[in-house]
Structure 1
Amino acid sequence: MSVRPRRFAAYLTVAASAAFAVLPAESASAAAINAHETAALSLFLGAVFVAVATSIMLLRTRSRAADKEAAGATEIADLKRKLDLAETLAASDAQTTIVWRAGEARPEVVGDPRALPGAPAGARLLALGSWLEPESAAAAETRIEALRRRGEPFRLMLRTREGGHVEADGRPVGAAVTVRLRDVSGERLARAEVEQHATELAAALARFTALAETLTQPVWMRDEHGRLVYANEAYARAVEAPDGATAAENGAEFLEQAERAAARQALDAGHVFRRRTPAVFAGARRIFDVVEAPAPHGSAAIATDVSELEDVRADLSRQMDAHRRTLDELTTAVAIFSADGGLVFHNSAFRQLWSLDPAFLETQPSDPTILDRLRAERKLPEQADFRTWKATLHEAYRALEAREHWWHLPDGRTVRVVAAPNPKGGVTYLFDDVTERLALESRFNALTKVQRETIDHLKEAVAVFGSDGRLRLHNPAFETLWRLDPTTLGDRPHAEDVLNACRADPRDAELWTRLKTATTAMPDERKPLAVRIERAKGGVVDVVTLPLPDGGTLVTFTDVTASVQIERALRERAEAVEAAVRLKNEFTSHVSYELRSPLTNIIGFGQLLGDPRLGALSPKQREYVDHILQSSSALLAIINDILDLTTIDAGAMALDLEHVNARQTIEAAVEGVRDRLSEAGLGLEIECGPRVGEFIADGKRVRQVLFNLLSNAIGFSRPGYAITVSAKRTKDAMVFKVVDRGVGIQPDHLDTVFDRFESRTEGGRHRGVGLGLSIARSLVELHGGNVSLTSIIGEGTTVTCTFPLRRLDAEAAAE
């Protein structure tokens, strides 16, 4: 608006105000004017005021429009200058701009695309994949799409297929979006490459940092002065810091001072520091593998916890030592060769098998060297082509599975060789001397055949059941005894089926159940069993089960029908003989008692007849009376002997133990036979040293034993010779011997001389009733001793009686 219209409007405003201010005073002075005129005047003045106000507003509006027009012209001129400048700058730089305006389907390309390296002209510029590298084209298309959809600006460095570089700058401009493509070269290219490299380095560092933070191993970095500048979370846990940044800021060290000094020395020399060292991790001492590498401006390090690995290694070392000790105790020869063929381990069995010098083996010779030495000593199998044979053996170094060989050595031994490839290369040889095993197998097979033939030809029926209860072996006698089908038995039936087929008599069900239990029970519960089965047709079978070491059961069936019948007949006969002997003893005892009383009367009356007080007898009568007394005495002695035997057999004879003088006992027994010695024309010699002394026994019975032995010797001695009676004391016994010089006893009679009523006739003479030796032996055995007899035809007989001292002493002490 100009100054003039503004001033005019101000004048109108002042005038209107003055008019309205004067109007009330004039109205008051002119009271005669009527009300109608007053109203007309007011209406006029109001119209004038409105017109003036409207004019003023129009003048103001026109003034503002003029001002805006002037400002717009100025702005347009400024924009034209900027546009001219932008066009000038754009024309001076090799670039092309792509503009997408709102509402337009196709973009506008501003500039010459041919200024870009390898870019096509026109609309083909938008086919980015045709002139950019695939990675660059994909990245540009993705960012352009984000720019057009969401208005996200971007800046990219793109690489063309021709090797050039293009900078893409995309941003929204008003309602449009633009992408400026500019060729990058020279300093700009170098700066772009530096920026891209810096971006890549930053990304790599970020990735490394992210990785380092997730590691469980402590990771740290130092600057060129050795100060800690970075530590990950694991490092912070190790030094018990809140986080890695705090640990680096406080300089919390993970390694000990000596290790840090050694690391600094290695880094200063430009070497990588590697060491296995103990360190404290979160208050616990553990073993770590520390690696610290030098860098142009410092160093980076990582520590790997190998505590468990050390434990495993130590345990593996112990296991290897135990393994070596175990292998060294094996009888199997073991030799382990490395991948290059060198001997790395051998046990003592290997050394002994091949008789190799320990000093030679300590040099760790190669596999071919050992084979050549064994061949030179003629300890390997004879081979026509040793080279080919050795090459075949060494194929185990390249094999995947173990190979087995059999070596028949010149000394007659047979060795089984197993060549097993090792997982990490090399071969393990196992040598087993199977000479003895093969011999044992041969003997075992022969023994099995002999056993089979023996079982097949046994009369007893044999069946062997395995640990599973099935029939494993049987002989033809088993089939014949129970009349079983061989085909059925060949199918290895179960023991229950076999025993059910054998059982015929229902009364033996319990026995067969016991047999089934003995053959089918658990191996450790099987017990030997022996039963006798009565067959339905009168046969008798003895069944014996025997558990075998392998868990099986041997069952034998023996048909003892004949032996049982013979046994029954013998038992009946023995019972009859026993009854006859009992009857004989009873009869003998009865007769002896019945004869003793009359005989005592005869002896008494004979002695009365010989008594001179009753009257004198003629010589002939005296001779008859003497004969009666002698015969009666002899008969009384026989009856007494019979009664003694009866008492002994009945177990009713008791010994009256006392101290017995050996010499006096001999003299008393000799006194009883002195008349008979004179009649027979025999002498008597007593051999009894002064140290024989006494012993504990029944003196009466000892005299009776010696009397009977002397009587027997007198009866069989030849006239003119002497009978010797001796007593000798040993450590444990008193020994009496009676030796005659008679004709002797025939060898076939020696076993019966002590039998009762065994009377022998030598030279046509009857020697007695045969009770003397029998009674003597019974009385000595009653003392716990024994009687023995030796005889030589034509030279005589010796009877020895032994009375034990200790037993008799003990019995006497007990009484």
Structure 2
Amino acid sequence: MVLTDVLEWAGLAALCGAAALAASIWLQAETARAGSRSRQVARLPEQPEPVFLFDEDMLIDSSAAGRALLDGDDTDGRRADLSDLAVVREVLGKRFYGLEEIDAVEDEAVFAARDTLDGYELLVERLDGILRLEVRGIDQPGKNDARAPAALHALEAEYETLRSTMNLAPYPIWRVDDGGEVSWFNGAYSDLFHRTHGTRPQPGQRLFQSGLDSKPSGSRIRASISIPGQDSFYWYDVWIARHDGYRMFYAVDVGAVVNAEIAQRNFVQTLTKTFAQLSIGLAIFDRNRQLALFNPALIDLTSLPADFLSARPNLLSFFDRLRDARMMPEPKNYASWREQMADLVAAAADGSYRETWSLPSGSIYQVSGRPHPDGAMAFLFEDITAEVSLTRRFRSELEVSQTIFDHIDDAIAVFGANGVLTLSNAAYRDLWHVDPDASFAEVTVFDATRDWQTQSRPTPVWGDLRDFVSGTGERSTWWANVAMNDGTEVICTVHPIQDGATLVCFRSSAVSKTGPVTPGLIQADAL
């Protein structure tokens, strides 16, 4: 009985010893693994590639390349609102697909680069609650990554030069992969996105329309960007260059050009509306002497069909058609017609062409030619039939009136409100031995009274007459006797007439029915 108890206690002791030994061995192994992880974290700054360690969302360590990657990104202004993991995920998300799935990684996952020529992938692994992200190179067929340190330094310097050059470019530049996502953009693109949307570009957001992706390489497309809540647009000419796996886009601001084109189009529309309301026919020929612009009045005046004018005939065809339609003077010699047209074009180009056409229909057109910029030429057709008829009728009436005045025995002189002699008859010229129409100079009341004074005896009448003609107050008819140098008595009657003019009538007292009377206001029964 005693031996049995001893053996039981001995077995129990051996079992406890074995359990203690096993526990000690396990603890040593865990300590060694923890030390290995600690040594690994401590070695992170020496890693040549970007590596990040996270405890949940907090960054606890990163390699020198990782810190340089974060420092070179343009999201610094927004990091205050983001967790460490969200910042790294946004930075790396520009380069790798699907980083929104990082939180779901339980053991290990690899994320591919957006650009097939990148040559790197993102390794994500979870080690005892620690999340590790490493950008590591991948082996590509035919590519040798074994480069000397000097060569790697040269590549890094070249990369920095290209990166700064692209970011300093004043024009938006961006790259779209075959999946339709913007995988890279420069600083000008980011600034333009911020001006139009108020935020920095986000993964999956497009600044320019996606329809540009389908355009062939080498195309130049004019695209616009609307500003939310406004009616204004940004206009760009976008050049497209396709490469294996992606497309590059280069945009140049053409807002000033577009605004100038809109202003020119509005100006042309305004001119067109103005020309459409003119009663003068307008025909503008370009430097090639083809009809470039005409207005509806030209159709009404020339009776040329609208379809003929719309076909943009040349200048000679235009005038040939006018001749055929009898809308210009009939040429006397058809053989010299072309020479006459050549002279007409030369005169219009100098701005000296101006003629009056008397048409067979009785209408009268005034045609003038004017040079325009860039070798263009304009012809104006104006119907002056009514004006010419009125002028002719007025001239005829003047001739009839003058003839009537010339048959009146009394000498008549009419002075305007400005004191200039405007009308006289034959009896006036015979009485005073002057011909006012023989000189181009104006004859004033001072000139006339000077002539009268030399041919008459001294009298205050001429001074009173000068004051009366130039006066602006209340005026009434008066008369006076004037003695000529040869003793002949002449009755001078002065009448105020319309518009401030003055009528002066000289009548010999030998033919006066009333006989000599005292100068003064004329009596009604003496007229």
TM-score by length of 2: 0.49
The structure whose RCO (Cα within 8 Å, separation 6+) is larger is 2
Structure holding more helix per residue:
1
TM-score by length of 1: 0.34
Specify the structure having the higher radius of gyration (Cα): 1
